[in-house]
Structure 1
C-alpha cells in the first residue's frame, strides 16, 4: 500500500501581489479538495509578510499526487502563477514519520 505524501510548499509573490495568490488559491481550492486522494490543501500567509505563503498538502498516495499534478486546473494554475509570483515555489516533501 502506498504511503501518504505530505508537502510543504513555500510561495513568494512579487511585492504587493499577495492578494493575487490568495484569489488564485480560493478559485483552485474547491477543485483540488474534491480530487480523489486529497486529504489536505490549505494556504497560510506568513506572519508579517503579505507576499509570502505556505501551502500544506496531504495526499493519500504518490499516485493521487501525480493525478493531481496532471489535472487541467493545475496545469492552468501553474501556467498563470508566474504572472504574480516572484519565482518558482519551493516544494518540500516531508518524511512519512514525524521526528519524536
Structure 2
C-alpha cells in the first residue's frame, strides 16, 4: 500500500523493542519518534546546562532555538500527550518510566 501525507504532515516511528526505552519517561519516548526535534532538544539542554556558556554557545543556541521553533517544538509535549491519550495512556502515566509500564501499555506507547 501507500501512505500519503499533506504538506505540513509527517510520519514518525520508534523502534519496536519493548526494552529499548526502559530508562525514559513515556512522554519523552514518544517525542523520540521525531528524531531531529529530539536531538535538538537534547543539544539545547546540554548547552544551557554548561557552567561556562560562551558567546559561541549563545550563537549555537540561537540557531537551535530557530530550528526548534520551525518544527513547532513548543507544542511537541502537548502533541505527544494528546497522541498518548488517544491510545488510552492517561496523562497521569506520561512521567512514568517505560520500565514501569505493562507490556500492553508499552505497545501503545511505541505505536
Instruction: Report the TM-score when normalising by structure 2.
Output: 0.28
Larger relative helix fraction = 2
Q: Which has the larger radius of gyration?
A: 2
